[in-house]
Amino acid sequence: MKKIMKRNFTRLSLFCVVICAPLAPLCRAQTTPFLSDGEIRMLSNEISGDRAFEHIRWLSHWHRDSGMEGYRVAQRTRREHETPRRGVDRRP
C-alpha cells in the first residue's frame, strides 16, 4: 500500500511540474519602489563577493600560525619596529 501511494505521489508531482513549467516565463520578479534600476545595478556592482574574496586572499599572505617556521621571527620584527605607546613597557 505504501509503495503504491509513493508511486502515485511521484507521478502526481511529475505531472504538476510538466503542466506548470510552460507558465514559468509568465511569472515576474518583484520590484522595489525604493531604488531605481540604475541604483540597483550600481549596488550590485559594489557589493561583490569577488572583491571580498580578493581582500581576504591578500590578507592571508601575512597570516602565520604560531607553530609555523618564521612566526617568532615575524613577531620579533614587529616588536622591533613598534613604537612605544604612552610609556607602557612591553616585555617579551
| 85, β-bridge pairs | 88
Measured between alpha carbons, how far is 64 from 74 in angstroms, rounded to an integer?
Answer: 9
Q: For position 26, what pLDDT does the model report? A: 81
Residue 87 pLDDT: 56
C-alpha cell at position 32: 522595489
Q: What is the pLDDT of residue 21?
A: 83
Q: What angle do CA 63, 67, 73 make, to 5 degrees?
A: 70
Report mean pLDDT in 10-residue bins for the chain, 92 residues.
80 87 80 84 80 82 69 77 61 57
In this prediction, residue 22 carries a pLDDT of: 84
User: Is the overall model pTM greater than 0.85, yes or no?
Assistant: no
Q: What pLDDT sits at residue 92? A: 55
Helices (H), 21-89: 37-46, 49-59, 71-81
